[in-house]
Structure 1
């Protein structure tokens, strides 16, 4: 019987063939039990020590979670599933980009090293603003609202400064020969991404885009007259498709362990988002 917050048989069937093989030495705990415990913890937002005993020792669950997080196991699983979907023609390459703020719980405060120096690698993607410590998830999703790539920063980071990093995270391997696909057919974003640098980046890569101009930018072009150049094109019908990224964030934040950040380290929270993304793709 599948309990609440556990993997379904269909989800386990996909994940079981993507897990790394067991090594030598003592037999490891059943993989499905471990993954069920990890998913239960992330969906409920509970502490590791509060994971029910039916999933085994919480130390074993945490050790497996951190090991697979640090060696890239979960990231490779996500890429493999995306590759299969792309091979089946199931990825809509009209990509939407946006970000969302996640409040950091006091349990995550131990990871705030580096805030005084501004070293983002040291502060584990925690930024201080009026609301306290927070993390921002910058994400690109396909036309069906499934994450293609994401970047974590402190909550006080502006969206447009991480646009190119988010685009670089779109990296869908081929199941056969050929380079991984990293170029969308079209990119949709809100006014926070309206900048000359971003538009030039997209034109340079031959990517069509729909990004509305901010009022001050439009007014500046009008003041300059012909010297200002032509205003960028904007298709309202295409822009309405941007709601898929909002729905993607809503689905991710149904996981209590993602809606509020309890993890101290960047790697742990990034892995939590990756696991939720894997199950969205399945």
Structure 2
């Protein structure tokens, strides 16, 4: 069962910032989307590169390609391209997420700051 993380809309924004193209020889441009899915799999699971599933290809090739992209600041360009429209769905704070303490709701009594009792001499 193959599950992709990237939607077609996200991939359309990311694709122009990737290195290489499918016609390039070697590991530089062959199926950039599958490679990015492999990187996201590593990030999601926290697994070492050696545990990369076979459907993503050779782990060592993927790691070397990741290193090349990191050195070329490709991930920075991708981040900048995707961060122009922040998804604020998870930035909303309301009563379903955060509950107010009873003192903050206007309950009787309010704040009662009492000094500590002086230590008793024994």
TM range (shorter): 0.5 to 0.7
Match of 1:79 in 2: 80
Evaluate the alpha carbon distance shift between residue 33 and residue 21 of structure 1 in structure 2; reply closer, same or farther with a 3 A threshold.
same
1:111-163: CA deviation from partner (whole Å, max 9, x where unpaired): xxxxxxxxxxxxxxxxxxxxxxxxxxxxxxxx9389xxxxxxxxxxxxxxxxx
With normalisation by structure 2, the TM-score equals: 0.58
Match of 2:53 in 1: 52
Q: Does the 8 Å CA contact 1:37/1:51 hold for their aligned counterparts? A: yes
Q: How far, CA to CA, are the matches of 2:92 and 2:71 in structure 1? A: 33
DSSP 3-state at the match of 1:17: helix
Evaluate the alpha carbon distance shift between residue 38 and residue 77 of structure 1 in structure 2; reply closer, same or farther with a 3 A threshold.
same
Matched pairs, number:
92
Q: Does the 8 Å CA contact 1:2/1:8 hold for their aligned counterparts? A: no
Q: How far, CA to CA, are the matches of 2:67 and 2:92 in structure 1? A: 34
Q: How far, CA to CA, are the matches of 1:25 and 1:55 in structure 2? A: 18
Q: CA RMSD in A?
A: 3.3
Match of 1:18 in 2: 17
Q: How far, CA to CA, are the matches of 2:18 and 2:82 in structure 1? A: 12
Q: How far, CA to CA, are the matches of 1:40 and 1:50 in structure 2? A: 10
Higher relative strand content: 1
Q: How far, CA to CA, are the matches of 2:2 and 2:8 in structure 1? A: 8
Q: How far, CA to CA, are the matches of 1:48 and 1:59 in structure 2? A: 7
Q: How far, CA to CA, are the matches of 1:42 and 1:65 in structure 2? A: 12
Match of 1:3 in 2: 3
Q: How far, CA to CA, are the matches of 2:80 and 2:38 in structure 1? A: 23
Q: Does the 8 Å CA contact 2:13/2:81 hold for their aligned counterparts? A: no
- Give the CA deviation at 1:80: 2.8
